[in-house]
Amino acid sequence: MDKPVIKITISYIFGIILGYYLNPSLYLLFGGIITLFIISIVLLLLSQKKLITLSLLSAFILIGFLYYEIATYTRSPRHLVNLLSNEKVCLTGVVCKDPDVRRNKVILVIKPERLANFTNPKGLVQATVYNPSFTFHFGDRIKLTTMLYLPKRPKKTDDFDYRSYLARKNIYALGKASGEEVTKLGRGKVNPILGFAMLIKHKMIEIIRRTMPEEASSLLLGIMLGEQKVLSYKLRQIFMETGVFHILAVSGLHVGLVGFIVFGFGRKILRFPRKFTAGLTIFSIVLYTLITGLRPSVVRAGIMAAGTLSCLLIDRSSGIYNRLSLACLIILLANPKGLFDVGFQLSFIATFGIIYLTTYFDKCFRRHLPLKIEEEVKSQHIRLYLKPLFKWIGVMLMVSISAQLTIIPLLSYYFQRIPLYSVVANLWVVPLVGVLLGLGFATIILSPISLSLAKLFGGLNSLVVMILIKSVQLISNIPHASINPPEIFRSEMVIFGYYSLGILFTELHLLHIKKREKVFTEFRI
Domain boundaries, the chain: 2-71, 80-190
Architecture of domain 80-190: Beta Barrel (2.40)
The per-residue DSSP string of 424-477 comes to HHHHHHHHHHHHHHHHHHHHHHHTTT-HHHHHHHHHHHHHHHHHHHHHHHHHHT
Residues in the chain, overall count? 525
pLDDT value of position 158: 67
Tell me how far apart the alpha carbons of residues 517 and 191 are, in angstroms, rounded to a whole number: 56
Whole-prediction pTM value? 0.84
Low-confidence residues in the chain, pLDDT < 50: 1-2, 370-378, 380-382
In the beta sheet, which residues pair with residue 140?
187
Tell me how far apart the alpha carbons of residues 137 and 424 are, in angstroms, rounded to a whole number: 41
The per-residue DSSP string of 225-254 comes to H--GGGS-HHHHHHHHHTT-GGGGS--HHH
Tell me how far apart the alpha carbons of residues 332 and 67 are, in angstroms, rounded to a whole number: 9
pLDDT value of position 111: 94
pLDDT value of position 16: 94
pLDDT value of position 175: 92
Question: Are the C-beta atoms of 427 and 401 separated by less than 8 Å?
Answer: no
Tell me how far apart the alpha carbons of residues 372 and 162 are, in angstroms, rounded to a whole number: 54
Cα 398 to its chain centre, rounded Å, is 21
pLDDT value of position 50: 81
pLDDT value of position 8: 93
Q: Are strands 482-483 and 105-115 parallel, antiparallel or unpaired?
A: unpaired
- Radius of gyration (Cα) for the chain, nearest Å? 26
Q: Residue 87: what are its φ and ψ, rounded to 5°?
A: -120, 155
| Secondary structure (3-state) at 214 | helix
Cα 473 to its chain centre, rounded Å, is 25
pLDDT value of position 389: 64
